[in-house]
Chain A
């Protein structure tokens, strides 16, 4: 029933490893977003997308790639994970008023 889902919900990775975070939405929204949340920084935008096939850099894109293969799916890829990427990651879809519909979050720990 949840409109925005994320997987995995928790992930432990090793430094230098590849990590893929997945997001699926059933809202049929064109816009999708990836944020990370860290204490003292609030929500920071990593990448976003206007629709299938498009990805745009957000405010902190370094070290991250994104992929939007379809309207429903938006992935965040860490090719070479580093401990500084330990965080909670949120995916969201956005409607025409820019209201954000968030997923439950993924807690990523990079050792």
Chain B
């Protein structure tokens, strides 16, 4: 079935450093699934960070960027300069999955940003 693999956490970086969280996907049921990054801040629920529904396009939000790369089946999340407030758990996801209305999530990457 369809799947998402992302960087295992925890990832620890210092404030103002750059960040990349890798995400690769396998989509056997649909050629161009929609791709998403969600974030869960401490004490809060999950919320959408960014999404891209067209291969080759880039999404951006709150200084984060991710490019939908069909050739490498990747959707890596990047930020040039992280802040302590970016500390959270980040999830890569794709949908639809497996010829259904399901959405498949990666296992999540915990990011800790040191002051």
User: Chain A residues with Cβ under 8 A from B53's Cβ?
Assistant: 97
Task: Please give the number of chain B residues whose Cβ is less than 8 angstroms from any Cβ of chain A in the complex.
Answer: 22
| Contact A98 B46, beta carbon cutoff 8 Å | no
Task: Please give the number of chain A residues whose Cβ is less than 8 angstroms from any Cβ of chain B in the complex.
Answer: 24
| Contact A98 B45, beta carbon cutoff 8 Å | no
- Which B residues, 31 to 64, have Cβ-Cβ distances below 8 Å to chain A? 34, 36, 38, 44-48, 51, 53
Separation in Å of the B44 CB from the closest CB of chain A? Answer: 8
Q: Which B residue's beta carbon lies closest to that of A6?
A: B45
User: Chain B residues with Cβ under 8 A from A94's Cβ?
Assistant: 95, 101, 103
B70 within 8 A of A: no
B68 within 8 A of A: no
Interface segment, B14-22, B71-79, B104-112? Answer: B104-112
| Contact B96 A43, beta carbon cutoff 8 Å | no
User: Chain A residues with Cβ under 8 A from B38's Cβ?
Assistant: 100, 102
Question: Given A90-B46, A104-B45, A98–B105 Cβ distance below 8 Å?
Answer: no
Q: Which A residue's beta carbon lies closest to that of B103?
A: A98
Give me the interface of A with B, judged by CB distance under 8 Å: 31, 33, 35, 40-43, 45, 48, 50, 56, 58, 90, 92, 94, 97-105
What are the 9 A-B residue pairs with the smallest beta carbon separation, nearest first?
A: A98-B95, A42-B107, A43-B105, A102-B46, A42-B108, A104-B45, A102-B45, A31-B101, A98-B34
